[in-house]
Structure 1
Amino acid sequence: MLKLKNPNDDELLSLLEKRRQSFSQLESIVEEVVERIRVEKDKALNEFIKRYEKYQLETNNLRVTEAEMKGAVVEEDFLRTVNEVIEDLKEFHLRQRENSFFFTTNNGSFLGEMVVPLESVGIYVPGGKAPYFSTLMMCAVPAIIAGVERIVVATPPDKDGKISPYILKVCQRLGLKEIYKMGGAHAIAALAYGTETVKPVVKIVGPGGIFVSLAKKKVYGDVGIDSFAGPSEIAIVADKTAPSEYVAADFLSQAEHDAYAMSVVVTTSEELFERLPKLIETQIHNLPEESKKTAQLSVKNFGTIVLVSDLKRAFEISNIIAPEHLEIIVESPFETLGYIKNAGSVFLGKYTCESIGDYGIGPNHVLPTLRASRFSSGLRVSDFTKKVFVTQMSKEDFEKRSTRYSKMARWEGFEAHARAIDVRRETT
């Protein structure tokens, strides 16, 4: 674990760049996967499934059947809980809906913007260590609210070739029927370009491991993506009023995700700064074995505790980090909102741990990482729509305004543009 006292900006940026560079050597592997599936379709998809998946399915068995959906069995308590969380997510995301608008100018021209749902979306749901049914809900609810007609789910199967019943039940609850047993970069490529088995989509959303993220980066431009997302991040700004046990627990809540996850505490309290490493170590040893191993690697790689002189400097540092999750555990958290420029999602006060955001209090948990919160936002309803401009120019408006547009075209050197305007003026 790294301890820093009053670090300068360059020290922080070098740490962040080290984390980013750790992914770069994997890009060539992903490029081969994506390009071969784009060209060879099912043939390449079969090969990569056999190479990378826990269970080696043939492409003709990739799609989840109706019998598999009906055979999924979960606890009644799970179904009740999921229903409650979905309603909470709907309440929040319904407020994000945007409306089309149209208006008429004084001279009778008709102008506007139509909000149009995307035709199809692929949701990537990570598999591996756990069934991420929460991610499925986070991605599907805003897509459904936006009005997307075709929503496809891709998620890797377990060692027996099955999808978690928790994921299948959430799909049932949300009315999602097109589900494929595939993960990794090859799943992203199949969704983007299509194969004989998988029909392509126009946008892919949902987090995944580094291979998934690099594949999304590679296909961007041919299809839309939500973001190039790296492993999880949390920054915690804490003062002397922050309970140290809470800070340590929240520090580890992201560290157990991935060996490349980043956890940072920025504090004005020297007592907290000195006490945290031992407390974090104790809490790590009380985790289950699998979480313990991952958290230990994450803390060793990117766990950082920073001591600063005041809260203003603390937020300067958090803005440089631009974290996915930002917790603020200080005496007056609302008074600090004005300091925040870069963060994916903000959690205020000692009772608002990041975990409640992961599991559905309202705001989405699919968030920008790797400093992307400097220029982007968490997943929202508008990510599943596009805006189409609409124009109809009246004869009166044309006669009044058209000369200015043909002048502008000629100033830019585009004679054909100008003549397309002039020919109408000459025949009106």
Structure 2
Amino acid sequence: MILMNNPGDKEVLRLLKQRMESVSQVEETVKEIIRRVKEEGDRALEEFLKRFEKHPVGIENLRVTEKEISEAQVEEEFVETIKIVIEDLKEFHRRQEERSFFFTTKGGSFLGEMVVPLESVGIYVPGGKVPYFSTLLMCAVPAIVAGVERIAVTTPPNENGGISPYILKTCEILGLKEIYRMGGAHAVAALTYGTETVKPVDKIVGPGGVFVTLAKKHVYGDVGIDSIAGPSEIAIVTDGSADLDLIAADFLSQAEHDENAMSVVITTSKEVFEKLPQVIERHLEALPEERRKTARISTENFGTIILTDSLKRAFEISNLIAPEHLEVLVENPFESLGYIKNAGSVFLGKYTCESVGDYGAGPNHVLPTFRSARFSSGLRVSDFTKKIFITHLSEEDFRRKGELYSKMARWEGFEAHARAIDIRREKL
């Protein structure tokens, strides 16, 4: 664990830079996977399925059948829970919907903007050790609210070549039928360029490991992406008014995700600074072995406790980090909102741990990481739409403004642009 007493900005940035560098060591491998899937289609995809998946999936059983979906067995309580969460998520995301608009100018021109849903979206659902059905919900609900017609889901198979029944049942409840058992960079490449078996999509959303993150980075432009989301992050700002057990539990809620996850506590309390490491250690020991191992590595490498002399400085450091998740555990959390400039999602007060955001309080949990919250936002309905501008210039407005546009074109040096306008002016 890293302890920092009143660090300067350069010290904080140095810590963040080390973390970014730790996840960029497989870039050349990712590029080669993408190139081969793009050029060779199913032949390369099948090779990577056998090389990288836990179970050597073949092209012939890459897509999950409707029978497998319908036969997925889960607790009835799970079904009822998911239905409740879907409605809560829809209630929040419907408020994000944007409307087309049109208007007529005084001169009779018709102008506007059409909001149109994307035709197809691929959702990457992380797999492996745990079934991330919550991520499936977070990606699918805003796409459904936006009106996307085709939603393809891809997720890594387990050791038996199957998909978690929790993932399959969630897909069934959401009405999603196109599901592929593949993960990693080859899945991103297949959804981007298509193969003989996989139809390409217009945009890929959803977080993943380092291979997925770098693959999305390299296919961007050939396909849309939500963001280049890396391992989980949490920053907790506290003035010492919150219980240490509560802070420690929240600290580890992200550390257990990934060995490269980052958990940071920024406090004005010397008591928190001095005592929290021991409390975190006690909570670490209480975790199941597999989660404990991951959380310990994450805590040792990127777990950080920072002591500052004021809440203002605490939020300055938080804004510098631009964390994926920001918890505000202070006496008057709403008064702190004015300090917050950079964060993916903010959680106010002692009852609002980051976990409630992960599992459906309302706001999306697919969020920017690696300081990209400085310029980007969490997944939302508008990520699944595009805006098409509409222009119909009236003769009156053309008579009044055509000469202005012609002059502007010549000032920029584009004679053909100007002539396209002038020819129309001559024929008036």
Does TM, scored on the shorter chain, surpass 0.5? yes
| In structure 1, distance between residues paired with 2:30 and 2:269 | 44
Aligned equivalent of 1:364:
364
* Cα offsets for 1:96-151 (capped at 9, x unmatched): 00000000000000000000000000000000110000000000000000000000
AA aligned opposite 1:304 = T
CA offsets per residue over residues 242-290 of structure 1, 9 Å max, x none? 1111000000000000000000000000001111000001110110000
Q: Percent identity?
A: 71
The one-character-per-residue Cα deviations of 1:217-246 (angstroms, maximum 9, x if unpaired) are 010000000000110000000012111110
- Listed one character per residue, the Cα deviations across residues 386-420 of structure 1 (whole Å, up to 9, x for unaligned) are 00000000001100000000000000000000000
Matched, 1:426 2:403: no
1:29 — aligned with what? 29
Amino acid at match of 1:4: M
1:197-222 alpha-carbon deviations (Å, 9 max, x no partner): 00000000000001000000010000
Task: Give the whole-Å Cα distance in 2 for the aligned partners of 1:327 and 1:169.
Answer: 32
Structure 1 residue identity aligned to 2:61: N
Consecutive unaligned residues in structure 1, runs of 5 or more: none
Compute the displacement of 1:329 (Å): 0.2
- What SS does structure 1 have at the residue aligned with 2:26? helix
SS in 1 for 2:352: coil
User: Aligned partners of 1:191 and 1:240: how far apart in 2?
Assistant: 48
Structure 2 letter corresponding to 1:343: A
CA distance in 2, matches of 1:4, 1:163: 43
Secondary structure at 1:312's aligned position in 2? helix
Q: Distance in 2 between matches of 1:359 and 1:241?
A: 26
Residue in structure 2 matched with residue 131 of structure 1 by the alignment:
131
Q: Which amino acid aligns with 1:342?
A: N
Alignment of 1:71-82 (within 5 A): 71-82=71-82
- AA paired with 2:299? V
Give the equivalent residue in structure 1 for 2:393. Answer: 393
Hey, what's the Cα distance between the residues in 2 that align with 1:390 and 1:143? 24
Q: Which position in structure 1 is the counterpart of 2:85?
A: 85
| Two-structure CA RMSD over aligned residues (Å) | 0.5
The corresponding residue for 1:68 is 68
User: Which residue of the partner structure matches residue 404 of structure 1?
Assistant: 404
* Residue in structure 1 matched with residue 326 of structure 2 by the alignment: 326
CA distance in 1, matches of 2:384, 2:363: 16
Residue 336 of structure 1 pairs with residue 336 of structure 2: yes
- CA distance in 1: counterparts of 2:163 and 2:128, whole angstroms: 11
Superimposed CA distance per residue, residues 335-362 of structure 1 (whole angstroms, 9 cap, x where no aligned partner)? 0000000000000001100000000010
Cα distance in structure 1, aligned partners of 2:153 and 2:373 = 26
Aligned to 2:311: 311
User: Any residues of structure 2 matched to 1:189-268 within 5 Å, and which?
Assistant: 189-268=189-268
Q: Which residue identity lines up with residue 117 of structure 1 in the other structure?
A: P
State how far apart, in whole Å, the 2-side matches of 1:87 and 1:50 are. 39
Work out whether residues 24 and 210 of structure 2, in 8 Å CA contact, stay in contact via their aligned partners in 1.
no
State the TM-score, normalizing by the size of structure 2. Answer: 1.00
Cα distance in structure 2, aligned partners of 1:172 and 1:130: 19
Mind listing any 5+ residue stretches in structure 2 that lack a counterpart?
A: none
Name the structure 2 match of 1:146. 146
AA aligned to 1:380 is R
Q: Is the 8 A contact 2:325 2:343 kept in 1?
A: yes
Tell me what 1:183 maps to.
183
Please state if 1:55 is matched with 2:45.
Answer: no
The more displaced of 64-73 and 319-328 is: 64-73
Per-residue CA distance 1:149-208 (angstroms, 9 max, x = gap): 000000011011100110001100010000000001100000000000000000000000
Query: Mapping of 1:283-302 within 5 angstroms?
Result: 283-302=283-302
What's the counterpart of residue 103 of structure 2? Answer: 103
- Rounded to whole Å, the distance in 2 between the matches of 1:343 and 1:352 is 16
Q: Following the alignment from structure 2 to structure 1, what is the Cα–Cα distance between the partners of residues 146 and 58?
A: 34
The residue type paired with residue 142 of structure 2 is P
* Distance in structure 2 (CA, Å) of the matches to 1:122 and 1:373: 23
Question: In 2, Cα distance between the equivalents of 1:173 and 1:70?
Answer: 10
Q: In 1, distance between residues paired with 2:70 and 2:103? A: 49
What whole-Å deviation, never above 9, does each CA across 1:322-380 have from its counterpart, x for those lacking one? 00000000000000000000000000001100000000010000000000000000000
Q: What is the aligned residue count?
A: 428
3-state SS of 1:25 partner: coil
Opposite residue 338 of structure 2, the aligned amino acid is G
1:377 equivalent in structure 2: 377
**Following superposition, which runs of at least 4 residues in structure 1 exceed 2 angstroms of deviation?**
none
